[in-house]
Chains A and B, each alone.
Chain A
Amino acid sequence: QITLKESGPAVVKPTQTLTLTCTFSGFSFSETGVGVGWIRQPPGQALEWLALIHSRNDKRYSPSLKKRLSIARDTSRNQVVLTLTDMDPMDTATYYCARRPPGFYSFDWWGQGTLVTVSA
């Protein structure tokens, strides 16, 4: 059984740094080619791809957010951490983490998502 769960603050202030943790089970980074990605969805809007980290620790970022984003993994804890600096009200969204299975571009398992509101 594969599960993923996002955790982090529900509210952050403008200019602060957001740190979100994705804790997963049922797979591990020892599985060659597996990846964990972050996707967000502002209220009432479309999905936006943010970042991806692979089993080989390769990292990919959305070009539009690359300067503010960082993704890292803790293989011993089965966790992936996303940080987004200089938060703005436009960053208010539900943030999802999801698994990318080996050899595929799709995300086959998703977390439930966590709503992050940026407000003073």
Chain B
Amino acid sequence: QSVLTQPPSVSAAPGQKVTISCSGSSSNIGKNYVSWYQQLPGTAPKLLIYESNKRPSGIPDRFSASMSGTSATLGIAGLQTGDEADYYCGTWDDSLNGGVFGTGTKVTVL
């Protein structure tokens, strides 16, 4: 039972940009940094964004993120076929005293 809500799917043509929203509450996104993960088919999740808008080494700047209030957004610019994957947001929830993940969004490159 995911605490964070994401759209089930988004799609766009190669080269275009997509955005993925992650909606939470005052006990999670409203108080803590958000991370984003990319999960390619049949593989483990990979960290894309941490501390809401920072990219680990090796992650291209086509991936960006922002936060506002109790929501966060991941943007993928210059969409490539290799970006087809499931994307998850995650953060800490102070009320649950544990981590939470989003419902996941499937990105399709048309």
| Minimum C-beta distance from A71 to chain B (A) | 12
Contact present for A46 and B90 (CB under 8 Å): no
Q: How far does the alpha carbon of A110 sit from the alpha carbon of B37 in the complex, in Å?
A: 11
What is the 8 Å Cβ interface bit string for chain A, positions 48-68, against chain B (1 contact, 0 not)? 110010000000111110000
Cβ of A47 under 8 Å from chain B: yes
Contact present for A104 and B33 (CB under 8 Å): yes
Interface residues on B, range: 20 to 34
What is the 8 Å Cβ interface bit string for chain A, positions 78-120, against chain B (1 contact, 0 not)? 0000000000000000001010000011111011110000000
Contact present for B90 and A49 (CB under 8 Å): yes
Q: How far does the alpha carbon of A113 sit from the alpha carbon of B56 in the complex, in Å?
A: 21
Cβ of B32 under 8 Å from chain A: yes
Of A64, A106, A107, the most chain B CB neighbours within 10 A belong to A106
For B44, give the chain A residue with the smallest CB separation.
A110
Q: How far does the alpha carbon of A79 sit from the alpha carbon of B1 in the complex, in Å?
A: 28
| Minimum C-beta distance from B93 to chain A (A) | 9
For A104, give the chain B residue with the smallest CB separation.
B50
23 A-B pairs with CB atoms under 8 Å apart are A46-B88, A47-B37, A47-B45, A47-B88, A47-B104, A48-B1, A48-B101, A63-B96, A63-B98, A98-B45, A104-B33, A104-B51, A105-B35, A105-B50, A105-B91, A105-B92, A105-B99, A107-B37, A107-B90, A108-B47, A108-B56, A110-B44, A112-B43
B residues in contact (CB < 8 Å) with A: 1-2, 32-33, 35, 37, 39, 43-47, 50-51, 56, 88, 90-92, 96-104
Add 16 more A-B contacts to A104-B50, A106-B51, A113-B44 (CB < 8 A).
A47-B39, A47-B101, A48-B1, A49-B99, A60-B97, A60-B99, A63-B97, A105-B32, A105-B91, A105-B92, A106-B35, A107-B35, A108-B56, A110-B44, A111-B44, A112-B44
